[in-house]
Structure 1
Amino acid sequence: MAKQLMIYERAVPISSERHRDWSVETGGNYGFAREVNSVPLLAAEFIPAATDHAIVFAGSEEAVFPSVILGIRDNENSHVGPDGSWTGGYIPAFLRRYPFVFSRSDDGETFTLCMDEEYEGFNQDGRGERLFDSTGQRTQYLESILNFTREYQTLFDRTQQFCARLVEHDLLRPGQANFNLGDLGQAQLGGFFTLDRQKLKELPQEVLSQMLATDELELCYVHLQSLNNLTPMAQRIAAAGGAAAPDGDGDGGAGARESEEA
């Protein structure tokens, strides 16, 4: 799995001086996410996301964060249609908050709400929702965006705590998904981590009790169960003919197999 591609082209702080006459028009177009094959996922999203997506952990062994797999190949999101519509069920909050994002100061104490000025929905023609009113005050819409982004950041920090526990107890192992795309051939996705089920079972009772009390144990099993979504994703891609086949012949019947990386 490739390193997460940035969907923000030019994120700048929002200010009444610069953006007083700006509006944003959103219409459910996710074309901006067409070339990302995974995006970060908050722990609070595990249960709704697991209905549609495989949840893995990306990053280094010392610093990981949950991600949802959206495509088999680099620069390929199989959940965005030709018209930019989202076709993949649950939409991760990472994408729903776009084109807005918080910027953290170097000391980690201050957050500034920013927006990607390159987003095609921004305009100065009054289309959509205004960011500021005629007096330069935040509109109710911008306040709602601020609240959503603030909540996202809080849940992001909590998710980091969950991941730190997984790393602390050495519960992660390198993963690899091998895809059979039928007539399209074979494909392979790596560069992520999955939970080691056996190591989870062998944790001391005190640690298991702590994880049970904080719902972290539930998150672990939701993650493991979500890996079953790899096969349906491969089947959809094969049926749509949406991926180029690598050299070699498929053995028929689209599917995917998650295995430990050697």
Structure 2
Amino acid sequence: MASAPQLPLFYNGLEPLSSEVHANFKVKPSDTAPFLVNQHAIPVTVEEFPLIQRHMPIVFSSGEDAIPIALMGLNEGVNVFISEEGRLIDETIYVPAYIRRYPYMLARLRPDADELSLCFDPSSPTIGAFDEGDALFTDGQPSELTQNILKFNENFEQAAARTGQFMKEIKELDLLMEGEVTIQQDGIEQPFVYRGFQMIDEKKLSELRGDQLRKISQSGMLPLLYAHLFSLALMREIFARQVKLGKMPQPQLNA
């Protein structure tokens, strides 16, 4: 999800939004998201599971610090929901909040800073000193648009914190297992096998008893875990979309 210097997925840079430096900056709406064209795995929060599981498979990334991700394609570089121009092919699908917050995010300006500051990716074509667009500042104060952007990002950070707690509890219950999905395409003898992700061990989940089962039931975790499990059936639908789009998959998933 990151490279050196360490930046989150999609972001090429981060600059704190300032009423002095960016007093004349405006935002112009865009109906395309070119940064999504080659992205197949998007971080999501647990609160989004009920909506996402209707459209995309939800899995967990590999490694110790696993996070939930929605698959918009089964193979790296393939997104079956986005056109080559960066437009949504199907506008009825749920778009994860991680995508909708771009090019903004809350970040610490210094490692020792207590507060998070609203930042933006200066490489984004949607924000700048434009003649037209919606102003980010009015008379030196954050506009209603900027206040809404800040609120959205604050809500996202809170959801991310709850997701972190969710993942901690999953690990404590030892419910994660290495995932594998085999898909047999008509006319091709060799099946496609997808690995490189984690999923909930349904057998271990069904064997939970007593306090453990009561805890995940009362906390609301149980329906979220099953939303993840139910969503895995969509892998075959994503595979079929790739075939239809002529984006034949490779035998390995690197989620």
Q: Specify the TM-score bucket, using the shorter chain as the normaliser.
A: 0.7 to 0.9
Letter in structure 1 aligned against 2:52: A
Q: Structure 1 residues 168, 154: closer, same or farther in 2, change over 3 A? A: same
Q: Does 1:49 align with 2:83?
A: no
Letter in structure 1 aligned against 2:116: F
Quick check: 168-177 or 154-163, which moved more?
168-177
Q: Does 1:115 align with 2:117?
A: no
Partner Cα distance (1:106, 1:147) in 2: 23
What 5-or-longer segments of structure 2 have no aligned partner? none
1:155 corresponds to: 159
If the length of structure 2 is used for normalisation, what is the TM-score?
A: 0.87
2:170 corresponds to: 166
Task: Count how many residue pairs are aligned between Structure 1 and Structure 2.
Answer: 244
1:141 corresponds to: 145
Give the alignment of 1:96-245 within 5 angstroms.
Answer: 96-104=100-108, 106-107=111-112, 109-133=114-138, 135-180=139-184, 187-243=192-248
Quick check: 70-79 or 230-239, which moved more?
70-79
Could you say which structure has the greater relative contact order, defined with CA pairs below 8 angstroms and 6 or more residues apart?
2
Partner Cα distance (1:246, 1:217) in 2: 33
Q: CA deviation at 1:112?
A: 1.2
2:75 corresponds to: 73
If the length of structure 1 is used for normalisation, what is the TM-score?
A: 0.85
Q: CA deviation at 1:59?
A: 4.0
Partner Cα distance (1:43, 1:137) in 2: 34
SS of the aligned residue for 2:177 comes to strand
Q: CA deviation at 1:107?
A: 4.9
Percent of residue pairs identical: 27
Letter in structure 1 aligned against 2:9: M
Q: CA deviation at 1:204?
A: 3.0
Q: Structure 1 residues 222, 132: closer, same or farther in 2, change over 3 A? A: same
Q: Does 1:28 align with 2:31?
A: yes
Quick check: 77-86 or 213-222, which moved more?
77-86
Q: Structure 1 residues 111, 154: closer, same or farther in 2, change over 3 A? A: same
What 5-or-longer segments of structure 1 have no aligned partner? 248-257
Q: CA deviation at 1:33?
A: 1.2
SS of the aligned residue for 1:241 comes to coil
SS of the aligned residue for 2:107 comes to strand
Partner Cα distance (1:130, 1:181) in 2: 51
SS of the aligned residue for 1:191 comes to coil
Partner Cα distance (2:237, 2:162) in 1: 30
Partner Cα distance (1:224, 1:3) in 2: 27
Partner Cα distance (1:221, 1:116) in 2: 36
- Give the number of the structure whose residues are more often strand, by fraction: 1
Quick check: 10-19 or 124-133, which moved more?
124-133
Q: CA deviation at 1:178?
A: 3.5
